[in-house]
Structure 1
Amino acid sequence: MPSATLISAQSFLVDRIVPDCEVIHLPSADVPGGILKYRIAVSAFRSQERPRRLKFVPAQNITAPDGSIIFDFRHHSPGNWAHLLTMHLPLLFHISEQLAIPWQQALILMPKSAPRYARRALAMFGLKTLFTDDIVHGAGVEIIADPWQCFWPVRPDWATTHSVLSALHAAIAREDRQLPRRILLLRRDTRTLTNSADIVALTEPLGFEVVYPEDYTPAEQAAFFMNAEAIIAVHGAGLAPLLYRTKNSAHMKLVELFPCGHITSVFRFIATQTNTAWVGVRGKLRPEYVKPAYRLSKPYRRFSLDNFEVDPRSLMLALRKLEIAA
């Protein structure tokens, strides 16, 4: 993963007399792989996800339809839009191709509580699904991925095969809504911008239109990343369709907005794999963020979903670095 830039809010942390924005150099880094094994076997597939039930109900036994090949994706939070699009589905696309399993034969097991948008994403590719927390008997693919993220370096190739892109472009062609070329991708429930009015006022004159992903179909969300020339996005699941850009896609520019409690390199890495120029912008620090950030023996997760404020100055620096603003 090549080096990149993260820009912080204006503060006295750069100069105690003249406040300024920190421009942080993120060094290049290796993204490790791992071991991926899979085989077709007759088995009893049990959910690894904890069912969301008010009271315990023993799992029942279900037999898969004859001719189906089971892919049990009831693990690693498949109800999360980003996990489903960037982990589970690329794994399905790769394994089905390697084992010559037609998509029509694949039966995708998902938790009974899987949200509507996850169901719509699977339907977009025409996949057969079974939403259940029960034990399912039949022929299926047993998968060992160690670690689970071991295929990060190669998953863009798996998500942009001819069959995947054909299904995706067919779904996009069925939509008729005009989509913006410059997008400000915001969130409503968590990680919302507390000064969104300031950010809209800054970006609107540059041609950016506010978009909330949940207001659009999965196909339209994929189209954002295939057709847009520039996107400013709050870090989160709304960025998942970035993976479905090909190496030959038209060059795109991406500014990723982070709350201090959730800085990751996930989409920075995908950007480098999909002909996308990337700059990160970190929101303002709060006093309660500081001490836990230096407790290196514990995960830094407590503030992950906090709403946050982005300094318009730091965002403007990012836009200038990407030559979106003068």
Structure 2
Amino acid sequence: MKFTWHNDAQEPMKVKTLLTQHGVTRSLLKKVKFHGGAILVDHQPVLAIHMLTGGETVTMVTPPEIGNDHLGVSTLPINVVYEDRDYLVVNKPAGVASVPAHALPDTTLANRVKGYYRQQGYANEVVHITTRLDRDTSGIVLFAKHHFAHSIIDHQLKAHSMRKIYLAVVAGRIDADHGWLDSPIGRAPDSFIKRMVTPTGKPSLTEYWVVKRLTNMTVVRVQLHSGRTHQIRVHFAAAGHPLVGDALYAGPADPLMTRQALHCMQLSFFDPFQERWLTNFAPLPADLANLIKTRQAANFERPF
């Protein structure tokens, strides 16, 4: 793949400095140098230490990406929310794991995306999953379609500049219309899967807004300001409001919800290739929408 920039700088700089300014990592530069890529200045091949003086056109040609034979191919369909040359946004249904794990069949979302790439005839079948959801959480999952796009998203995740919005239904009534949950989260000592609030955990910050108050339940819109495993589930459980249907964290059972009532409904990130913010939405799945409709109280608080 080719990526091209115009050097508008007034001061001399090395090519690698300009590439770094555009999000090219050191590991990607190594792949370009040693695995069949190229760097061109005004269509002529150069090294990364080549000096630019201003006004040049700089092109990076990335090497082919070899697929991972250990990732099986699934022909099960995916729900594509958005796609361009660089990114694929998928609405994951509940009950589908994001990536393969021990004892899981090759029907995870990653397997399905690889099958989709093959059906579309894409030259690159490498699956770069950049955001993940728990198996029983529905909603938006973002895939990068090449190494460079993946490194861009990794940087945004580390800088907490990506915006992920969830909708959850939690037990009990939350009186405050807006609040923060900022307790540290770490592994529970008696479980490989479960997490808990603990002083020795990693800093974790969750922001929420009440959308609607139901009978013995509250619908909340949630934004993560950190990315810990099970963060929303752990924080609300620790606050005395576990998610409806979340058996792992003692959430109340409801016949209308056979999983935790959690859905990733919005994802926003900056796309440097198009030089604009991309925002995608995933509509509420039928089970969550039905739960809210059926359990709603008479007083409507606020629209989604």
TM range (shorter): under 0.3
Greater relative contact order structure (CA < 8 Å, 6+ sep): 1
Q: Give me the TM-score of the superposition, normalised by structure 2.
A: 0.25
Answer 1 or 2: which has greater strand percent.
2
